[in-house]
Structure 1
Amino acid sequence: MTSRLFKMALVLGLLSAIGPFAIDMYLPALPAIGQALNADGASVQMSLTAFFIAIGLGQLLYGPVSDMVGRKPPLYFGLLLFAACSIGCALTSDVHLLITLRFFQGMGAAAGMVIPRAIVRDLHTGTEAAKLMSLLMLVFSVSPILAPLTGSAVIAAFSWRGVFWAVTIAAAAGIVMMATVLAETRGPEERQESSLGGALRGYWLLLRDRHFMGLVLIGSFAISGFFIYLANSPFVMIGHYGLTPTQYSLAFALNAASFIGVSQLCGKLGERFGMVPVVKVAASACALVVLALLGYFLAGGDSLAVLIVGYLVASAFMGLVIPLTSVLSLEEHGELAGTASALLGTVQMLTGAVLMAASGPFIQGKPLPMVMGMFAGALIALVLTWLTLSGPAAAARVAGSKPLPGAAK
């Protein structure tokens, strides 16, 4: 059973990681892209924000389509679109065209973000789903460990344009792997009742489901702190602390390794203590750690080691919050797995993109504004955790005794 779970997680994780690879490999290149294209930091950051917006909006389309036509056809389309736009990014010399191409590249990458989560729900529920989701996170999270280091090496050898040729090759490999390894998990009989109108009704039902939306927003604000770190840390660590792109990549990899390692405990901790108590403790601990980090920088501290270690600990707790809230939010919605997964991913990405865009004007290459944004995300996630997962009604929903109001059978 474990080997079968790992094989599936390997395939799904690698497909999911192609889009994030295009983010994480890109990070060490941000200062160099600004210099090469004569663009300021805010414009270069917008190329990152555009990708996040597109990868969020695209999931609204791919999720319902995957319910209607199966999981594999939209995956093929998304990877082909991603590859075509990656080639365009490698050839452009204008920052505005780069931003546009990054948007459509994100639209392609969205398929790999939403559909693997729906496949998890096609195959498993409960703690088995948590185990598969945590294994998927293990493979998926190789991206933030290896991608910045790979990006640094590619940039050194081929300039920042080499990053886009590298992700084009990754997309081609994903297409081959999907064709040879991944089986369709949503058969024709399960697609019969799926339609565009049904998807719109499903979105409306899910948006009115306070428990579902609460869980989605917990994960969204928890991960938004990471997105703020993602967008600002190259300028802080390379510009302010003087790290080389390779040193920055190593520091970034430490945070990712912390997230990955702890996320592998989701299944075991969920079985022993229950998924809801684990989420409550982890969200509380994450907020407290980032609060301590904020207090240090408000008091005038300016240590790179404190920043790295503090966020390493916070990342560990996020490694519990994000996978478990994803599993809990999809638990009741097997008949709407693609649609529910799409809405979850869209809200996560758009929340992160909005906060990234809001932090853009405050980019100073200093750690304090970045940490303030990170704390805002962690605090909102904590408040939502206790509002959503407290009380008997929440316990009943988690136990699966209360179905989605008005859901079609």
Structure 2
Amino acid sequence: MRDPLFRMALVLGLLSAVGPFAIDMYLPAMPQVAADLDTTEAGAALTLTSYFIAFGIAQMIYGPMADAIGRKKPMVLGVAIFLVATVAAALAPTIGWLILARAVQGFGAATLMVVPRAVIRDVATGPAAARMMAAIMIVISISPMLAPLTGSLVMAWGSWREIFGVLGAAALLSLFLILVVLPETSEPRNRQPVRIGQMMAGARRLLTDKRFMGLTMIGGFGMASFFVFLSTASFVYKHQYGLSPTGFSIAFAINAIGFFSASQFAGRLAEQFGMERVISLAITGFAGLTLMLTALVWSGADALPLVVAGLLAANACLGLVIPTTMVMALDPHPDIAGLASSLGGTIQMLTGGLMIAVTGPFMDNTSATMVAGITLCALLAWCAAAASLPRLRLGRMV
């Protein structure tokens, strides 16, 4: 990758990490939030659900906006909204207030998921874009490995409210990077005014594109597995295994290492073996490993090291799937890259929220139900791949 592209990837990675950081840094605090605001664990989990839903819906706004007025202005607007909501969350007197503030926060953070994807599409395609996406994952990987630890350290001298102070500082840094460091990559001649009819036509084109929808749902169910983990892990690790916020943070970081380590090989493997083969093999490995882990845990082998190791291995496979499906879904649609990115992101986030809602009633703060929920998502991702990838459907993965 040329140095300018690598530098741009690092900047985009820092910006893209803000949204995940706002989730991961907050996870160790969820039990304290439930106690402090006099609510149930399910009520505390709604602060994540509201974030995900707003995050998903907002992507349909920022994508077309990025196609119409360029890449930088939508990012400035979204980060400003995120900053205001972060202050509101820090001052929340009730769980209802916090749920609403987190929803607005997710609405703002969505811009940093949609627009960087469109920026990548502006400057690179194919394996080069996959390498850029992998470089972004290097920076994003800081979030699941350091954000929970940062959150637990903040709680050691303060409370969950101070966590939002750190997120506010991250928002200010993001504004600086967007305004001063990041170049505008959308040429004025390529911009398209926001027209509802045009958007509907573009959406119909994407929604009826079996390849686009198949790849989007593979990534959607893959991400849903991680959302199920996010919504349950802090309570499972606390109640079943007795971990402190710091202990949870360490276990969570280990679970995430596999995903982000493997993602760095996505571009290289795609060049050598082809994107479709990489996805086919990786999604099969993901489904197989989660099935094996579920069988072991339900048979009584539910020790913490086994659960952490099993999720580490499964997430390594998932790390090859997510960046590759993102690139493959956008490649055929350069003229509506912003809309394609936002629609794909919306579908994936809503899929994640739906899977949390579907699995939530069955969760009982044990690893057995947690890994079962993750496995359900993995199997649905494999089914989406089998339906949309000829190589997997015909059994020609090697």
TM-score by length of 1: 0.94
Query: Is residue 378 of structure 1 aligned with residue 378 of structure 2?
Result: yes
Whole-angstrom distance in 1 between the partners of 2:26 and 2:229: 14
Aligned-pair CA distance for 1:260: 1.1
Match of residue 324 from structure 1: 324
Match of residue 6 from structure 2: 6
Contact conserved, 1:222 with 1:322, CA < 8 A, in 2? yes
Amino-acid identity (%): 44
Whole-angstrom distance in 2 between the partners of 1:91 and 1:368: 36
* Structure-to-structure mapping, 1:369-408, within 5 angstroms: 369-390=369-390
- 1:13-35, CA deviations, whole angstroms, 9 ceiling, x for partnerless residues? 11111111110001000000000
Match of residue 353 from structure 1: 353
Whole-angstrom distance in 2 between the partners of 1:291 and 1:393: 20
Query: Is residue 162 of structure 1 aligned with residue 162 of structure 2?
Result: yes
Query: Structure 1 residues 385-394 or 169-178, which shifts more?
Result: 385-394
Aligned-pair CA distance for 1:261: 1.0
Question: How many correspondences in the alignment?
Answer: 394
Aligned-pair CA distance for 1:156: 1.3
Whole-angstrom distance in 1 between the partners of 2:354 and 2:187: 37
Match of residue 45 from structure 1: 45
* Structure-to-structure mapping, 1:56-95, within 5 angstroms: 56-95=56-95
Q: Any gaps of 5 or more consecutive residues in structure 2?
A: none
Name the aligned partner's letter for residue 362 of structure 2.
Answer: F
- 1:217-238, CA deviations, whole angstroms, 9 ceiling, x for partnerless residues? 0011111111101110000011
Measured at CA, do residues 391 and 252 of structure 1 come closer, stay the same or move farther in structure 2, by a change above 3 Å? closer
Name the aligned partner's letter for residue 386 of structure 1.
Answer: A
Aligned-pair CA distance for 1:357: 2.1
Aligned-pair CA distance for 1:393: 12
Aligned-pair CA distance for 1:188: 1.2
Match of residue 141 from structure 1: 141
Contact conserved, 2:386 with 2:393, CA < 8 A, in 1? no
Contact conserved, 2:259 with 2:315, CA < 8 A, in 1? yes
- 1:355-405, CA deviations, whole angstroms, 9 ceiling, x for partnerless residues? 1122222231111111111001100111111211116999xxxxxxxxxxx
Whole-angstrom distance in 2 between the partners of 1:393 and 1:188: 42
TM-score by length of 2: 0.96
Measured at CA, do residues 192 and 106 of structure 1 come closer, stay the same or move farther in structure 2, by a change above 3 Å? closer
Contact conserved, 2:277 with 2:391, CA < 8 A, in 1? no
Whole-angstrom distance in 2 between the partners of 1:385 and 1:362: 26
Whole-angstrom distance in 1 between the partners of 2:101 and 2:391: 47
Contact conserved, 1:42 with 1:361, CA < 8 A, in 2? no
- Over aligned residues, Cα RMSD in angstroms? 1.5
Match of residue 210 from structure 2: 210
Whole-angstrom distance in 1 between the partners of 2:9 and 2:178: 13
Whole-angstrom distance in 1 between the partners of 2:29 and 2:360: 17
Name the aligned partner's letter for residue 63 of structure 1.
Answer: G
Contact conserved, 1:45 with 1:360, CA < 8 A, in 2? no
Contact conserved, 2:262 with 2:320, CA < 8 A, in 1? yes
SS in 1 for 2:22: helix
Match of residue 258 from structure 1: 258
Name the aligned partner's letter for residue 68 of structure 1.
Answer: A
Aligned-pair CA distance for 1:111: 0.4
Name the aligned partner's letter for residue 330 of structure 2.
Answer: L
Name the aligned partner's letter for residue 186 of structure 1.
Answer: S
Contact conserved, 1:64 with 1:196, CA < 8 A, in 2? no
Q: Any gaps of 5 or more consecutive residues in structure 1?
A: 395-409
Match of residue 33 from structure 1: 33
Match of residue 404 from structure 1: none
Name the aligned partner's letter for residue 206 of structure 1.
Answer: L
- 1:90-120, CA deviations, whole angstroms, 9 ceiling, x for partnerless residues? 0011001111111111100010011000110
